[in-house]
Amino acid sequence: MSTSQYQVPGGPVTAPTTTVAPDRVAAAVDRLVAAHFSGVACAPVRDLIGRDDVAAAYQVQQGLNAAKAARGARVVGRKIGATSEAVQRQLGVDQPDFGVLFDDMVYAEDTVIPLSRLIQPKAEAEVAFVLAEDLAEGPLDLAQVRAAIDHAVAALEIVDSRITDWDISFADTVADNASSGVYVLGGQRRSLDDLEPVDVTMSMSIDGEEVSTGTGAACLGDPLVAVAWLAHQARTFGEPLRAGQVVLSGALGPMRPIPPGATVTAAISGLGSVTAQFSTREDQA
Protein backbone atom coordinates (compact mmCIF):
# COMPACT_ATOMS: atom_id res chain seq x y z
CA MET A 1 0.00 0.00 0.00
CA SER A 2 1.35 3.44 -0.90
CA THR A 3 1.13 5.65 2.17
CA SER A 4 1.94 8.99 0.51
CA GLN A 5 -1.72 10.00 0.38
CA TYR A 6 -2.02 9.44 4.14
CA GLN A 7 1.03 11.44 5.22
CA VAL A 8 0.21 14.42 7.42
CA PRO A 9 -0.73 17.50 5.40
CA GLY A 10 1.52 20.53 5.34
CA GLY A 11 -1.15 23.12 6.01
CA PRO A 12 -4.68 23.57 7.33
CA VAL A 13 -7.33 21.18 6.10
CA THR A 14 -10.90 22.27 5.45
CA ALA A 15 -13.74 20.02 6.50
CA PRO A 16 -15.69 18.64 3.52
CA THR A 17 -19.16 19.93 2.75
CA THR A 18 -22.23 18.24 1.35
CA THR A 19 -25.22 19.11 -0.79
CA VAL A 20 -27.32 16.30 0.70
CA ALA A 21 -30.48 17.76 2.20
CA PRO A 22 -30.70 17.80 6.02
CA ASP A 23 -33.91 15.77 6.00
CA ARG A 24 -32.16 12.95 4.14
CA VAL A 25 -29.28 13.00 6.64
CA ALA A 26 -31.84 12.88 9.46
CA ALA A 27 -33.63 9.93 7.83
CA ALA A 28 -30.32 8.05 7.61
CA VAL A 29 -29.65 8.77 11.29
CA ASP A 30 -33.08 7.47 12.24
CA ARG A 31 -32.53 4.27 10.24
CA LEU A 32 -29.20 3.51 11.91
CA VAL A 33 -30.36 4.49 15.39
CA ALA A 34 -33.25 2.06 15.08
CA ALA A 35 -30.88 -0.72 13.98
CA HIS A 36 -28.37 -0.01 16.77
CA PHE A 37 -30.91 -0.11 19.54
CA SER A 38 -33.10 -2.92 18.20
CA GLY A 39 -30.28 -5.23 17.16
CA VAL A 40 -31.99 -5.75 13.80
CA ALA A 41 -29.95 -4.93 10.70
CA CYS A 42 -31.27 -2.32 8.30
CA ALA A 43 -30.97 -1.42 4.64
CA PRO A 44 -27.95 0.62 3.53
CA VAL A 45 -28.23 4.38 3.88
CA ARG A 46 -26.57 5.19 0.55
CA ASP A 47 -30.01 5.59 -1.00
CA LEU A 48 -30.34 8.66 1.21
CA ILE A 49 -26.82 10.14 1.26
CA GLY A 50 -25.01 8.62 -1.74
CA ARG A 51 -22.17 6.10 -1.82
CA ASP A 52 -19.16 8.38 -1.39
CA ASP A 53 -20.29 11.66 0.19
CA VAL A 54 -17.81 11.92 3.06
CA ALA A 55 -19.36 15.00 4.66
CA ALA A 56 -22.90 13.57 4.67
CA ALA A 57 -21.66 10.23 6.00
CA TYR A 58 -19.88 11.85 8.94
CA GLN A 59 -22.94 13.99 9.65
CA VAL A 60 -24.95 10.79 9.96
CA GLN A 61 -22.27 9.27 12.19
CA GLN A 62 -22.38 12.34 14.44
CA GLY A 63 -26.16 12.05 14.70
CA LEU A 64 -25.95 8.36 15.54
CA ASN A 65 -23.29 8.95 18.17
CA ALA A 66 -25.25 11.83 19.66
CA ALA A 67 -28.14 9.39 20.16
CA LYS A 68 -25.79 7.04 22.02
CA ALA A 69 -24.45 9.86 24.17
CA ALA A 70 -28.01 10.91 25.00
CA ARG A 71 -28.52 7.41 26.41
CA GLY A 72 -25.50 7.80 28.70
CA ALA A 73 -22.56 6.51 26.65
CA ARG A 74 -19.29 8.39 27.15
CA VAL A 75 -16.60 8.85 24.49
CA VAL A 76 -13.29 7.22 25.49
CA GLY A 77 -11.43 7.16 22.19
CA ARG A 78 -11.44 6.66 18.45
CA LYS A 79 -10.99 3.85 15.98
CA ILE A 80 -9.51 3.88 12.52
CA GLY A 81 -11.07 1.54 10.00
CA ALA A 82 -10.07 0.04 6.64
CA THR A 83 -6.36 0.72 7.10
CA SER A 84 -5.10 -2.45 5.41
CA GLU A 85 -5.51 -3.42 1.78
CA ALA A 86 -6.83 -6.81 2.88
CA VAL A 87 -9.70 -5.25 4.85
CA GLN A 88 -10.39 -2.68 2.13
CA ARG A 89 -10.84 -5.54 -0.32
CA GLN A 90 -13.09 -7.37 2.13
CA LEU A 91 -15.29 -4.31 2.62
CA GLY A 92 -15.20 -3.07 -0.95
CA VAL A 93 -13.84 0.37 -0.01
CA ASP A 94 -10.66 2.18 -1.04
CA GLN A 95 -9.82 4.52 1.84
CA PRO A 96 -9.68 4.54 5.65
CA ASP A 97 -12.32 6.01 7.91
CA PHE A 98 -12.76 6.67 11.61
CA GLY A 99 -15.33 6.25 14.34
CA VAL A 100 -15.89 6.82 18.04
CA LEU A 101 -15.21 4.45 20.95
CA PHE A 102 -17.66 4.59 23.86
CA ASP A 103 -17.12 3.39 27.41
CA ASP A 104 -19.61 0.54 27.01
CA MET A 105 -17.69 -0.95 24.07
CA VAL A 106 -14.66 -2.28 25.96
CA TYR A 107 -14.62 -5.78 27.47
CA ALA A 108 -12.04 -7.38 29.75
CA GLU A 109 -10.26 -10.52 28.57
CA ASP A 110 -11.90 -12.61 31.29
CA THR A 111 -15.42 -11.44 30.39
CA VAL A 112 -17.63 -13.36 27.97
CA ILE A 113 -18.91 -11.02 25.28
CA PRO A 114 -22.64 -11.59 24.65
CA LEU A 115 -23.48 -12.13 21.02
CA SER A 116 -26.76 -10.36 21.73
CA ARG A 117 -24.67 -7.20 21.73
CA LEU A 118 -23.69 -7.76 18.10
CA ILE A 119 -25.41 -8.51 14.80
CA GLN A 120 -22.79 -9.90 12.40
CA PRO A 121 -19.42 -9.61 14.18
CA LYS A 122 -15.96 -10.05 12.72
CA ALA A 123 -12.61 -9.95 14.54
CA GLU A 124 -9.48 -8.09 13.57
CA ALA A 125 -6.19 -7.69 15.42
CA GLU A 126 -4.43 -4.37 15.80
CA VAL A 127 -2.17 -2.17 17.87
CA ALA A 128 -3.98 0.17 20.25
CA PHE A 129 -2.47 3.31 21.71
CA VAL A 130 -3.36 5.29 24.83
CA LEU A 131 -2.63 9.00 24.66
CA ALA A 132 -0.78 10.91 27.37
CA GLU A 133 -1.27 14.28 25.66
CA ASP A 134 -3.86 16.00 23.50
CA LEU A 135 -3.39 15.95 19.74
CA ALA A 136 -5.25 19.18 19.08
CA GLU A 137 -2.65 21.84 18.27
CA GLY A 138 0.58 22.01 16.30
CA PRO A 139 1.67 20.15 13.17
CA LEU A 140 0.37 16.75 14.33
CA ASP A 141 3.33 15.16 12.61
CA LEU A 142 4.85 11.78 13.42
CA ALA A 143 7.20 13.22 16.01
CA GLN A 144 4.33 14.91 17.87
CA VAL A 145 2.15 11.81 17.63
CA ARG A 146 4.91 9.55 18.97
CA ALA A 147 5.59 11.92 21.89
CA ALA A 148 1.86 12.09 22.74
CA ILE A 149 1.46 8.31 23.14
CA ASP A 150 1.73 6.91 26.66
CA HIS A 151 1.81 3.25 25.65
CA ALA A 152 0.84 0.65 23.08
CA VAL A 153 -1.14 -2.52 23.74
CA ALA A 154 -2.38 -5.49 21.70
CA ALA A 155 -6.06 -5.23 20.81
CA LEU A 156 -8.87 -7.20 19.25
CA GLU A 157 -11.51 -5.06 17.62
CA ILE A 158 -14.82 -6.77 17.01
CA VAL A 159 -16.26 -4.91 14.07
CA ASP A 160 -19.96 -5.13 13.32
CA SER A 161 -22.36 -3.74 10.77
CA ARG A 162 -25.91 -2.65 11.27
CA ILE A 163 -26.28 -2.88 7.47
CA THR A 164 -27.83 -6.16 6.34
CA ASP A 165 -25.24 -8.70 5.10
CA TRP A 166 -22.41 -6.15 5.32
CA ASP A 167 -23.77 -4.68 2.07
CA ILE A 168 -21.84 -1.44 2.47
CA SER A 169 -20.39 1.40 0.47
CA PHE A 170 -17.86 3.81 1.97
CA ALA A 171 -20.65 6.14 3.10
CA ASP A 172 -22.55 3.27 4.74
CA THR A 173 -19.64 2.18 6.91
CA VAL A 174 -18.72 5.74 7.90
CA ALA A 175 -22.32 6.54 8.82
CA ASP A 176 -22.47 3.36 10.93
CA ASN A 177 -19.70 4.66 13.21
CA ALA A 178 -17.06 3.02 11.00
CA SER A 179 -18.69 -0.39 11.52
CA SER A 180 -17.64 -0.41 15.16
CA GLY A 181 -18.70 -3.05 17.65
CA VAL A 182 -16.68 -3.77 20.78
CA TYR A 183 -13.01 -4.24 21.63
CA VAL A 184 -10.66 -5.99 24.06
CA LEU A 185 -7.23 -4.75 25.17
CA GLY A 186 -4.35 -6.99 26.19
CA GLY A 187 -2.57 -6.77 29.51
CA GLN A 188 0.96 -5.93 28.34
CA ARG A 189 1.70 -2.22 27.95
CA ARG A 190 4.77 -1.05 26.06
CA SER A 191 6.29 2.39 25.70
CA LEU A 192 7.35 3.42 22.21
CA ASP A 193 10.87 3.62 23.62
CA ASP A 194 10.69 -0.19 23.63
CA LEU A 195 8.50 -0.87 20.60
CA GLU A 196 8.45 0.16 16.95
CA PRO A 197 4.84 -0.39 15.82
CA VAL A 198 5.72 -0.70 12.13
CA ASP A 199 7.88 -3.74 12.91
CA VAL A 200 5.31 -5.87 14.73
CA THR A 201 3.98 -9.14 13.34
CA MET A 202 0.52 -10.54 14.10
CA SER A 203 -1.16 -13.92 14.15
CA MET A 204 -4.86 -14.26 14.99
CA SER A 205 -6.58 -17.57 15.74
CA ILE A 206 -10.17 -18.65 16.32
CA ASP A 207 -10.57 -21.71 18.55
CA GLY A 208 -6.89 -22.50 18.07
CA GLU A 209 -6.82 -22.28 14.27
CA GLU A 210 -4.78 -19.49 12.69
CA VAL A 211 -7.10 -17.41 10.51
CA SER A 212 -5.26 -14.13 9.92
CA THR A 213 -1.69 -12.86 9.81
CA GLY A 214 -0.18 -9.45 9.17
CA THR A 215 2.37 -6.83 10.07
CA GLY A 216 2.56 -3.26 11.30
CA ALA A 217 3.45 -2.15 7.79
CA ALA A 218 0.03 -3.35 6.58
CA CYS A 219 -1.64 -0.55 8.58
CA LEU A 220 -1.25 2.45 6.24
CA GLY A 221 2.45 1.59 6.09
CA ASP A 222 2.89 2.26 9.82
CA PRO A 223 0.33 2.39 12.69
CA LEU A 224 1.78 5.76 13.70
CA VAL A 225 0.97 7.12 10.23
CA ALA A 226 -2.60 5.95 10.85
CA VAL A 227 -2.74 7.80 14.17
CA ALA A 228 -1.34 10.97 12.60
CA TRP A 229 -3.93 10.71 9.82
CA LEU A 230 -6.65 10.31 12.45
CA ALA A 231 -5.37 13.24 14.49
CA HIS A 232 -5.73 15.53 11.47
CA GLN A 233 -9.14 14.14 10.56
CA ALA A 234 -10.41 14.47 14.13
CA ARG A 235 -9.22 18.06 14.38
CA THR A 236 -10.62 18.92 10.94
CA PHE A 237 -14.04 17.60 12.00
CA GLY A 238 -13.89 19.60 15.25
CA GLU A 239 -13.31 16.84 17.80
CA PRO A 240 -9.55 16.51 18.41
CA LEU A 241 -7.95 13.55 20.13
CA ARG A 242 -7.50 14.04 23.88
CA ALA A 243 -5.18 12.76 26.58
CA GLY A 244 -6.37 9.49 28.09
CA GLN A 245 -8.21 8.37 24.98
CA VAL A 246 -7.72 4.96 23.40
CA VAL A 247 -6.93 4.82 19.68
CA LEU A 248 -7.49 1.58 17.78
CA SER A 249 -5.09 2.13 14.90
CA GLY A 250 -6.50 -0.36 12.40
CA ALA A 251 -6.27 -3.96 11.31
CA LEU A 252 -2.91 -5.62 10.69
CA GLY A 253 -4.49 -8.38 8.61
CA PRO A 254 -7.82 -9.67 7.28
CA MET A 255 -10.89 -9.69 9.54
CA ARG A 256 -12.70 -12.97 10.17
CA PRO A 257 -16.31 -13.87 11.15
CA ILE A 258 -16.86 -14.98 14.74
CA PRO A 259 -18.94 -18.14 15.30
CA PRO A 260 -21.03 -18.54 18.48
CA GLY A 261 -19.03 -19.62 21.51
CA ALA A 262 -15.69 -18.84 19.88
CA THR A 263 -12.44 -17.85 21.55
CA VAL A 264 -10.37 -15.41 19.51
CA THR A 265 -6.71 -14.80 20.32
CA ALA A 266 -4.23 -12.45 18.67
CA ALA A 267 -0.48 -12.57 19.29
CA ILE A 268 1.41 -9.39 18.37
CA SER A 269 5.19 -9.40 18.64
CA GLY A 270 6.44 -7.12 21.39
CA LEU A 271 2.95 -6.78 22.85
CA GLY A 272 2.05 -10.33 23.85
CA SER A 273 -1.42 -11.67 23.27
CA VAL A 274 -5.04 -10.64 23.75
CA THR A 275 -8.07 -12.93 23.94
CA ALA A 276 -11.79 -12.38 23.45
CA GLN A 277 -14.42 -14.94 24.47
CA PHE A 278 -17.95 -15.03 23.07
CA SER A 279 -21.23 -16.47 24.22
CA THR A 280 -23.14 -19.13 22.35
CA ARG A 281 -26.48 -18.19 20.86
CA GLU A 282 -28.17 -20.15 23.63
CA ASP A 283 -26.52 -18.27 26.53
CA GLN A 284 -26.26 -14.81 25.01
CA ALA A 285 -29.25 -13.31 26.81
Whether residue 36 is contained in a domain is answered as no
Average pLDDT of span 100-105: 97
Nearest in space to 168 (alpha carbons), one of 209, 120, 118, 136:
120
Q: Measured between alpha carbons, how far is 225 from 247 in angstroms, rounded to an integer? A: 13
Is it the case that residue 180 has pLDDT exceeding 60?
yes
Is it the case that residue 92 has pLDDT exceeding 50?
yes
Whether residue 25 is contained in a domain is answered as no
Average pLDDT, the chain: 91
- List the domain range (segments joined by +) for residue 225: 75-278
> How far is CA 242 from its chain centroid?
17
- The structural domain count of the chain equals 1
pLDDT confidence of residue 17: 87
Whether residue 49 is contained in a domain is answered as no
Q: Measured between alpha carbons, how far is 260 from 114 in angstroms, rounded to an integer? A: 9
CATH number at residue 206: 3.90.850.10
Percent of the chain with pLDDT over 70: 90
pLDDT top residue among 191 and 90: 191
Whether residue 264 is contained in a domain is answered as yes
Is it the case that residue 7 has pLDDT exceeding 70?
no
Q: Measured between alpha carbons, how far is 70 from 33 in angstroms, rounded to an integer? A: 12
Is it the case that residue 1 has pLDDT exceeding 50?
no
Helix (H/G/I), strand (E/B), else coil: 109: coil
Tell me the pLDDT tens digit for each residue of 143-176. Answer: 999 999 999 999 999 999 999 999 999 999 999 9
pLDDT confidence of residue 90: 66
Whether residue 132 is contained in a domain is answered as yes
Whether residue 47 is contained in a domain is answered as no
Whether residue 48 is contained in a domain is answered as no
Backbone angles phi, psi at 183, to 5 degrees: -150, 160
Is it the case that residue 203 has pLDDT exceeding 50?
yes
Whether residue 67 is contained in a domain is answered as no
Q: Measured between alpha carbons, how far is 125 from 253 in angstroms, rounded to an integer? A: 7
249 — pLDDT class (breaks 50, 70, 90): very high
